[in-house]
């Protein structure tokens, strides 16, 4: 069962064009950055630092939305 899943994952990655693979990697990178910022926001107590993080999150959300539009 496990081997079948890994075979499917490999074959689905092989079907991506280089441009699609690049777009997917960029989106995954943006989502990881977003997760990190959310964690920082949760742990931050300084209002100014929180404001900076919230602005960075808003910018990342725009980039993720743009990446969604390009990936389709």
The token duo for 40 is 């920082």
What's the pLDDT tens digit per position in 9-33? 555 557 889 999 999 999 999 999 9
Confidence of residue 3 (pLDDT cuts 50, 70, 90): low
Cβ-based neighbour number of residue 63 at 10 Å = 15
Among candidates 1, 6, 68, which has minimal Cα distance to 31?
68
Q: Roughly what angle, to the nearest 10 degrees, separates helices 47-71 and 18-43?
A: 160
- Write down the pTM of the prediction: 0.71
Are 59 and 37 in contact by the 8 Å Cβ rule? The answer is no
The token duo for 30 is 């943006």
């Amino acid at each position: 069962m496990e081997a079948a899943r890994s075979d499917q994952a490999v074959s689905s990655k092989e079907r991506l064009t280089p441009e699609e693979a690049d777009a997917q990697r960029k989106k995954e990178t943006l989502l990881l950055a977003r997760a990190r910022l959310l964690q920082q926001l949760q742990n931050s107590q300084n209002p100014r630092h929180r404001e900076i993080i919230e602005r960075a999150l808003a910018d990342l959300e725009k980039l993720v939305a743009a990446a969604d539009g390009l990936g389709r």
